[in-house]
Amino acid sequence: MFHPQPPAVSASQLSSRELRRALDALHALGDCCAGSDDLARRGIEHLPRLIGSDLTTLVVCDIESGHRIVRPEGLLSRRATEVFDHYFHEHPLVRAHSRNAHAVTTRISDLIRPAEFHRLPLYNDYYRPIRIEHTMAMPIHVDARFLVSFVFNRSGSGFSERERNLAEVLRPHVANLYRYSVAIDQSSAMSADAPALRAALALTPREREVLDWVAAGKTNRDVAAILGASPRTVEKHLERIYEKLGVETRTAAVMRAARQDKPLG
């Protein structure tokens, strides 16, 4: 059974030493930050020094597609990635944080009792093989489609209430740094590839819909059935999409358009 997520906390609940360490971590994350990739790298490097973690990642969850991107890349096997995605919408933290503008730093144990968690296929098929027992997520961006979080994982003891409080005090400031880093990315992208981005923005709603289904791995026949159109009509839409984006393949079109949509990198 799922329990309400924990309440927000204030800096007054932390000691002066903990606050100094938190400020040092924020300085390390934000000083001359060069963009979202840089913020992800710094967070993965510095946050575990503040909050003990065997495995720290930055994850981007696409709520619509049920797919998760993990930073650093290559950390998890393809099999582990597929298993997580299989249980994506059943994950306690995904359920608690997705499309939740008031999401706060939360441990899985805040939402579901350990004994219940250990009975979930998610635990036995995903967490047990990678030897993770405890997980805590710090959501730094939530909108209608994406959930972005720094995630802390441990195999030994669970995360304490003070560790959660420390992460929660940091969270809104890390979220501000994230928004700043994305603005840097967008500025750089517009300068480097402004024609392509303008072309992506010029797609009609129907062309965008076709491209979204292609990005989800659907064939032309699949897209036609979903949209109630003929495969030939879908092909015509794709031809116009390729022309607008200046590409020649489905994969290139998806990658070119995705540059304006992704919240990270």
Query: Domain ranges in the chain?
Result: 11-185, 202-261
Domain 11-185: homologous superfamily in CATH: GAF domain (3.30.450.40)
pTM attached to this predicted model = 0.71
Q: Which residues contact 74 (CB under 8 A, 6 or more apart)?
A: none
Q: What is the pLDDT of residues 139-149, one digit of tens each?
A: 999 999 999 99
- Where does the chain have alpha helices with state H? 16-30, 36-50, 78-86, 92-97, 108-111, 114-119, 121-122, 161-201, 205-215, 220-227, 231-245, 250-261
- In whole angstroms, what is the distance from residue 165 CA to residue 195 CA? 45
- Is-cis flag, bond preceding 121, omega within 30? no
Q: For residue 264, name the pLDDT band (cuts at 50, 70, 90).
A: very low
What are the pLDDT digits (tens) for 211-261? 888 887 788 998 998 888 899 999 999 998 888 887 888 877 877 776 555
Domain 11-185 shares a fold with domain 202-261:
no
Domain over 202-261 is classified CATH 1.10.10.1100: no
Instruction: For residue range 63-105, list pLDDT tens digits in order.
Output: 999 999 998 888 889 899 999 999 999 999 999 999 999 999 9
